[in-house]
Amino acid sequence: MAKFDLTSRMAQYLDRHLVFPLLEFLSAKQVLIYEENELLQGKLDILSKTNMVDYAIDIRKQLYPKQEVPETLKNRRVQVLSQLQELQNEVAPILKLLSDDVAMKTMETLRDSKALLNFLTKEHDVRLISFHQTFILTYSVQLITSTTFYLNAIQTMCPHILRYLATAVIINRSRRSALKDLVKVIQQVCIKMLAEKLNMNPEEAECWIVNLIRNARLDAKIDSKLAHVVMGTQPLSPYQQLVEKIDSLSVRSEALQSLIERKLKARTQDV
């Protein structure tokens, strides 16, 4: 039964915080595909590289009830608690500001962004922080699917975001328009990777890709030295752009004409 489960296939493309709920789901549903010890070991492997030390200790006690907690985990717990205390001290001024009812009411009355900024910098010593585009991308992947503004940042600085973008494209209702943006980012594909996905050897995959490019008339070429398929973009010529605009104007003119005719017909009937 385990070979039909998709958890292992999906997990290799997900981060730890996304894999953990899958293991929790398998444990909660008591699925008979995996042994409970296997799921506990999987959770322990995931938590070993996180700061959730207390949870890792609890799972280790369930997995090895007769063994004592290793000193490495105990030392790790001390380090995590120390780091947590440092972070709490750093954000204490912000938390104090947010808990101040007078300051919050004052900020609500300040509709001007400049006045609000002056109030925060002068009265509460709040400083501006320049957030990196990569940070914004990580937490706004749903917004990326509706704009091409961040695509250059994805391509140059954080290509790992592509997997989140692909997931958002699949689950989003407007996935067709989003898929166009995703295809723009993918400029080259490794033939070896395609061969693995297609369950072929590299030579067969290359022949299959050549036939696909030829039959589908795709704008792509194969780099034999690098073993990559390089995707190309064919811009519209000025003539094609003019033809498309004329077609659009023609459709709009016909719709406007039919609307005028219906209104005139309704007016003559009333008379």
Using one digit for the tens of pLDDT, what is the confidence trace for 100-148?
888 888 888 877 767 877 887 788 777 655 444 555 555 555 455 445 5
Residue-level pLDDT at 147: 52
Residues 43 and 35: their CA atoms lie apart, in Å, by: 13
| Collapsed DSSP state (helix, strand, coil) of residue 91 | helix
Site of tokens 């605009």: 245
Contact predicate 181/155, CB 8 Å: no
Predicted structure pTM score: 0.42
Is the per-residue pLDDT at 149 higher than 60?
A: no
| Beta-carbon contacts of residue 264 (< 8 Å; ≥ 6 apart) | none
Contact predicate 184/148, CB 8 Å: yes
| Alpha-carbon 90 to chain mean position | 29
Using one digit for the tens of pLDDT, what is the confidence trace for 2-54?
677 788 888 888 888 888 888 888 888 766 678 888 888 989 998 888 889 99
Strand ranges for 20-178 from DSSP E: none
| Cβ atoms within 10 Å of 237's Cβ, excluding its own | 9
Is the per-residue pLDDT at 150 higher than 60?
A: no
Higher pLDDT, 178 or 228: 228
Q: Which value, to the nearest 10 degrees, does the dihedral of the CA atoms of residues 147, 150, 151, 153 take?
A: 180
Using one digit for the tens of pLDDT, what is the confidence trace for 221-263?
777 777 777 776 555 677 777 887 888 888 888 888 888 888 8
Site of tokens 């709490």: 88
What residue spans define the domains of the chain?
2-79, 100-129, 130-186, 190-234
Strand ranges for 11-143 from DSSP E: none
Residue-level pLDDT at 85: 93
